[in-house]
Amino acid sequence: MFIVENYGTAVLLCVITMVCWGSWANTQKLSARSWRFELFYWDYVIGILLFSIISAFTLGSMGNQGRSFLPNLMQADSDNIGSALLGGIIFNAANILFSAAIAIAGMAVAFPISIGLALVVGVFINYAAAQKGDPVILFLGVGLIVIAIILNAIAYKKASSANKQVSSKGILISLLAGILMSFFYRFIAASMDLENFASPVAGKMTAYTAVLVFSVGIFISNFVFNTILMRKPIDGNPVTYAAYFKGKFKTHLVGILGGLIWGLGNSLNLIAAGKAGPAISYGLGQGATLIAALWGVFIWKEFRNAPRSVNSYLMVMFLFFIIGIGLIIYAGK
């Protein structure tokens, strides 16, 4: 199987993760005009599972290093399989709650609360479990990224023409989504032997096996979480499974593409965790906010009619993001 041999390659894979995690939502934006989010989300989850299967039987099975996928899965302990499955369930619950928070409170509130909290708490949790990297530099970089996320929220709020009062329900869901999002990565990492990808200890899984089990957890839990959302949506009328099967092939393909993009980023991030450490891999991956902001500013023109003061916030935001990401990378050297 493919194994990362040096820190530089690990950083490169984490940067690709950042691009993938910050770009997949474009597919949701493309399909939003004709396709409900709840229906899109099914295709998105299918895309994640599909990529994990392809990855397991290609990069996870080829070559002479490490255990190939099927032998690795057969020898995995039930505790480690359960840990990766739980990680998928937690991620799916967090992702759906995050989407609900956006619908209730808007991006300006949900994003800094959920993602900012997930970034800070998640890095602490993963660093406590595997202490790789200089903690002072690492958490300084995390702090700068949190400031950048807050500046991004301020820019969105100033650019918005309507100043709606934020409900306490929206804030509560944002907090819950952020807390859940900060935990999912640790459960996947715990199922792997991060110290030795080439010869993991008995019972532990490789990154490729863990990603597939994690994706199965997402897929199975979606029958519960998304079914609830379809019957009792945050916005609009309930939707049925019949509506999903009436969708056009191209529409389904867009959602699956979104899942493939996110799945690629997730796989590369976990492959890199052995050399970079889970805290640095996770922290860099959550820098996806920077990529999402770039899409919003330059492609979707979300700030086209915004006041001039918004540009100042955006410039400082991008600066803090770049410096923060640079510090996280440097912390691992």
Handedness of CA 85, 87, 93, 99 (dihedral sign): negative
CA quadruple 92, 93, 95, 96: dihedral, nearest 10 = 110
- Give the mean pLDDT of 67-71: 93
Q: What is the CA angle 297-45-184, rounded to 5? A: 80
Q: What's the pLDDT at 26?
A: 87
The string of DSSP codes covering 227-295 is HHHHHS-SSSS---HHHHHTS-HHHHHHHHHHHHHHHHHHHHHHHHHHHH-HHHHHHHHTTHHHHHHHI
Which residues lie across from 205 on neighbouring strands? 192
pLDDT at 164: 54
**Tokens in use for 7?**
């820190």
295 and 140 Cβ atoms separated by less than 8 Å: no
pLDDT at 167: 62
Handedness of CA 62, 208, 31, 252 (dihedral sign): positive
Three-state DSSP class for 107?
helix
Contact 276, 332 (CB under 8 A): yes
User: Does the structure show a pLDDT above 70 at 285?
Assistant: yes
User: Which alpha helices (DSSP H) does the chain contain, by range?
Assistant: 7-23, 25-31, 37-57, 69-75, 78-105, 107-129, 135-159, 168-190, 207-231, 241-245, 249-276, 278-285, 288-294, 308-331
Residue 310: pLDDT over 90: no
Q: Tens digit of pLDDT for each residue in 100-127?
A: 777 676 665 676 778 778 888 999 999 9
How much is the average pLDDT of 119-141?
92
What's the rounded mean pLDDT across residues 280-296? 86
Q: Is 2 helix (H, G, I), strand (E, B) or coil?
A: coil
For the segment 27-67, what is each residue's pLDDT rounded down to a tens digit?
Answer: 888 887 788 889 999 999 999 999 999 999 999 999 888 88
The yes-or-no verdict on residue 99 having pLDDT over 70 is yes
